[in-house]
């Protein structure tokens, strides 16, 4: 899915938004390809979302959507089949005044899963911790990759059942992470645990010895869970590859051009290091 006409303006809308690293690497990409566009962060409270989207339509704007607006924008947009199934829009543009919504978080999750499990996930059991917006993208990525055995640990089990029903995938829903990770060869954290302190979604000792680990959270110096899992001998990645790949896919949607990943990666590395 691509915009037929390049957006006249690029933004990311969220609330809060100051922490977002997307402007750092998207502006580096725009500059590297000498495109006369800037990518700006807009802090949009939920009460202002509808008016903001109407204004952005008049401006022929495109961009990204982040917490807490992904589901709300999906409800307003003509969604791609993928965004419809995931129930969330993270990338948008306008076509003849109509809001078009797509989801590139799935591509970001797929890239990380492929890096951690180069032989694929057809024959392995995967554990997913969390059942929110990003868990939906991960579940879709696992389903697209052919994973048939997925355990989801959800604090609110109804959310996990709703995700599975909308995506059309069979999952086991369990209430605690210990049960989900038993025998899982890939364990994915899609909760915010570890974002602000040293808490871990599951102790490394609970993991199967061959388990690889994907933490959607990212922060300066790496997340405590990824650090502890690597120290215990597990292959582990944080959320930076997913962030970069969803951004690269969105860049191509807006511009029709291949994203300069090396430029974006360098800008992201610098951004993560200088963020508090
Ligand atoms: P969300 O929609 O709010 O969902 C969070 C999920 O985690 C919900 O299932 C929630 O359960 C569960 N949860 C929250 N705190 C928990 C706790 N203390 N113990 C157990 N479960 C808990 O958020 P989201 O959009 O999915 O984002 C989750 C995290 O992923 C973010 O914090 C962010 O760091 C990361 N993320 C990374 C990327 C990337 O590109 N790398 C993209 C998106 C998100 P309830 O339903 O019971 O509240």
The sign of the torsion formed by the CA atoms of 53, 71, 86, 246 equals positive
Res 94: pLDDT: 96
Supply the residue whose CA is at minimum distance from atom 41 of ligand 1. 239
Q: Which ranges of 70-198 would DSSP assign to H, the alpha helix?
A: 70-76, 81-86, 105-116, 133-144, 157-167, 177-181
Work out which ligand 1 atom sits closest to the CA atom of 156. 47
Alpha carbons 214 and 109: distance in angstroms, whole number: 9
Alpha carbons 10 and 113: distance in angstroms, whole number: 28
* pLDDT tens digits in sequence order for the chain, 276 residues long: 888 889 999 999 999 998 899 999 999 999 999 999 999 999 999 999 999 999 999 999 999 999 999 999 999 999 999 999 999 999 999 998 899 999 999 999 999 999 999 999 999 999 999 999 899 999 999 999 999 999 999 999 999 999 999 999 999 999 899 999 999 999 999 999 998 899 999 999 999 999 999 999 998 788 999 999 999 999 999 999 999 999 999 999 999 999 999 999 999 999 887 765
Cβ-based neighbours of 63, under 8 Å, separated by 6 or more = 7, 9, 10, 11, 12, 13, 39, 56, 91, 92, 93, 254
Res 167: pLDDT: 96
Q: Give bridge partners of residue 251 from the DSSP assignment.
A: none
- Please answer whether residues 88 and 103 qualify as being in contact, where contact means their C-beta atoms are separated by less than 8 angstroms: yes
Sheet holding 39-43, edge to edge: 39-43, 9-14, 61-65, 91-95, 98-102, 78-79
Strands 91-95 and 61-65: antiparallel
Res 209: pLDDT: 97
CA of residue 153 to ligand 1 center, whole Å:
12
Alpha carbons 54 and 130: distance in angstroms, whole number: 33
Work out which ligand 1 atom sits closest to the CA atom of 217. 34
Report the predicted TM-score, pTM, of the whole model to 2 decimal places: 0.95
Res 271: pLDDT: 87
Q: How many Å from the N-terminal Cα to the C-terminal Cα in the chain?
A: 35
* Residue to substitute in 191, 193, 272, 275 for testing ligand 1 pocket (most ligand atoms within 8 angstroms of CB): 191
Res 5: pLDDT: 84
CA of residue 44 to ligand 1 center, whole Å:
20
Supply the residue whose CA is at minimum distance from atom 46 of ligand 1. 156
* Residue to substitute in 22, 138, 155, 161 for testing ligand 1 pocket (most ligand atoms within 8 angstroms of CB): 155
Alpha carbons 102 and 81: distance in angstroms, whole number: 8
Work out which ligand 1 atom sits closest to the CA atom of 191. 7
The answer to whether residue 70 is catalytic is yes
Q: Using CB atoms within 10 Å of the CB of residue 58, give its burial: 0 to 12 exposed, 13 to 18 middle, 19+ buried.
A: exposed
Res 204: pLDDT: 98
**Residues 11-43 as b or e (16 or more Cβ within 10 Å = b):** bbbbbebeebbbbbbbbbbbeeeeeebebbbbe
Supply the residue whose CA is at minimum distance from atom 23 of ligand 1. 132
Alpha carbons 225 and 214: distance in angstroms, whole number: 9
For residue 77, count other CB atoms closer than 10 A to its CB. Answer: 21
Cβ-based neighbours of 235, under 8 Å, separated by 6 or more = 116, 212, 213
Res 220: pLDDT: 79
């Amino acid at each position: 899915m691509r915009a037929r006409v390049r957006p006249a303006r690029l933004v990311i809308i969220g609330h809060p938004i100051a922490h977002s690293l997307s402007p750092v690497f998207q502006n580096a990409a725009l500059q590297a390809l000498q495109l006369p566009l800037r990518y700006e962060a807009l802090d949009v409270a939920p009460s202002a979302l509808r008016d903001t989207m109407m204004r952005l339509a008049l401006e022929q704007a495109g961009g990204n959507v982040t917490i807490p607006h992904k589901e709300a924008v999906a409800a307003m947009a003509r969604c791609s089949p993928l965004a419809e199934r995931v129930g969330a829009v993270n990338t948008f543009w306008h076509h003849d005044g109509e809001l078009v919504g797509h989801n590139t978080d799935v591509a970001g999750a797929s890239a990380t899963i492929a890096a951690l499990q180069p032989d694929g996930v057809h024959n392995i059991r995967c554990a997913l911790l969390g059942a929110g917006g990003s868990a939906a993208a991960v579940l879709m990525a696992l389903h697209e990759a052919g994973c048939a055995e997925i355990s989801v640990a959800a604090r609110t089990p109804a959310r996990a059942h709703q995700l599975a029903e909308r995506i059309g995938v069979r999952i086991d829903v369990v209430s605690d992470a210990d049960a989900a990770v038993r025998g899982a060869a890939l364990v994915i954290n899609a909760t915010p645990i570890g974002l602000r302190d040293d808490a871990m979604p599951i102790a490394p000792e609970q993991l199967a010895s061959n388990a690889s680990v994907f933490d959607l959270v990212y922060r300066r110096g790496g997340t405590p869970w990824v650090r502890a899992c690597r120290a215990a001998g597990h292959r582990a990645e944080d959320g930076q590859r997913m962030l970069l790949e969803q951004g690269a896919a969105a860049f191509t949607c807006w511009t029709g051009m291949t994203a300069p990943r090396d430029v974006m990666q360098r800008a992201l590395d610098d951004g993560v290091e200088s963020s508090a």
